Chains A and B, each alone.
Chain A
């Protein structure tokens, strides 16, 4: 069955960086784009952008163009979200989700990122 398994929770200080992984299984990784979504505590869902898993080309929504990097390790069917120069407002749960005809049909379990000094 299709699964997206994300890395575990992170506790970081402002200014640090982190990298979240999203390992896909149950389908051909390069057949579908990978999307990323942010959910701040007690808030709604915010679409961050996507990465083309065939070419590796990322596309970022406006709020995520500065410190956010999407990348791939295709041989491991894994997508990554890196956040640089962390800020308090980056505290959130981050989800990866598989793209395709149904848009975001399959989701990872989420990775909680806490930024605190």
Chain B
């Protein structure tokens, strides 16, 4: 199985900060990488699909980059409503695998 190593596990930032979260795949996954936001008690919400495509309805402060094994989710200017846990998902190879998550809080 492809292992997804997500970092950092925990992140504290201020409103307006630029925030980056990383996922590293144990082997090449091309661009088949999604990013999700999960707020407490809710289902995950798709933010970015296929590495850099913004899902409909998601604010443009969210962006994704990368290909192959290294991927980044960037929030250009952190807002209070962005407090959540963020997960990556590789869907290049069976079985799909998730990163362990990054918990983002406000400083």
Q: Do A and B come from one complex?
A: yes
Binding site for B on A (CB under 8 A): 35, 44-47, 49, 59, 61-62, 95, 102-110
Give B64 Cβ to nearest chain A Cβ, in Å: 13
Give B93 Cβ to nearest chain A Cβ, in Å: 11
User: How many angstroms from the CA of A105 to the CA of B42 in the assembled complex?
Assistant: 15
Residue B34 lies at the interface, judged by CB distance under 8 Å to chain A: yes
Determine whether the beta carbon of A45 is less than 8 Å from that of B46.
Answer: no
- A-chain residues with CB within 8 Å of residue B55 when the two chains form the complex: 102, 105
22 contacts between A and B (CB under 8 A): A44-B100, A44-B101, A45-B87, A45-B89, A47-B96, A47-B98, A49-B95, A59-B94, A95-B43, A102-B34, A102-B46, A102-B53, A102-B55, A103-B32, A104-B36, A104-B46, A104-B91, A105-B46, A107-B43, A107-B44, A108-B43, A109-B43
User: How many angstroms from the CA of A44 to the CA of B88 in the assembled complex?
Assistant: 11
B21-35 contacts to A (CB < 8 Å):
32, 34
Binding site for A on B (CB under 8 A): 32, 34, 36, 42-46, 49-50, 53, 55, 87, 89, 91, 94-101
User: How many angstroms from the CA of A104 to the CA of B34 in the assembled complex?
Assistant: 9
Beyond A108-B43, A109-B42, 9 additional contacts (C-beta under 8 Å) are A44-B87, A45-B44, A45-B101, A47-B95, A47-B98, A95-B44, A103-B89, A104-B96, A107-B43
Contact of B49 among A45, A102, A108, A109 (CB under 8 A): A102
Most buried by B among A35, A47, A62, A106: A47
**Given A104-B46, A107-B44, are A45 and B95 neighbors across the interface (CB < 8 Å)?**
no
- A-chain residues with CB within 8 Å of residue B91 when the two chains form the complex: 103-104
- A-chain residues with CB within 8 Å of residue B42 when the two chains form the complex: 109
Ranked nearest first, the 4 interchain pairs of A and B with the lowest CB-CB distance are: A103-B91, A107-B43, A102-B49, A61-B95
User: How many angstroms from the CA of A47 to the CA of B55 in the assembled complex?
Assistant: 21
Determine whether the beta carbon of A47 is less than 8 Å from that of B97.
Answer: yes
Give A26 Cβ to nearest chain B Cβ, in Å: 14
Most buried by A among B95, B98, B99, B101: B95
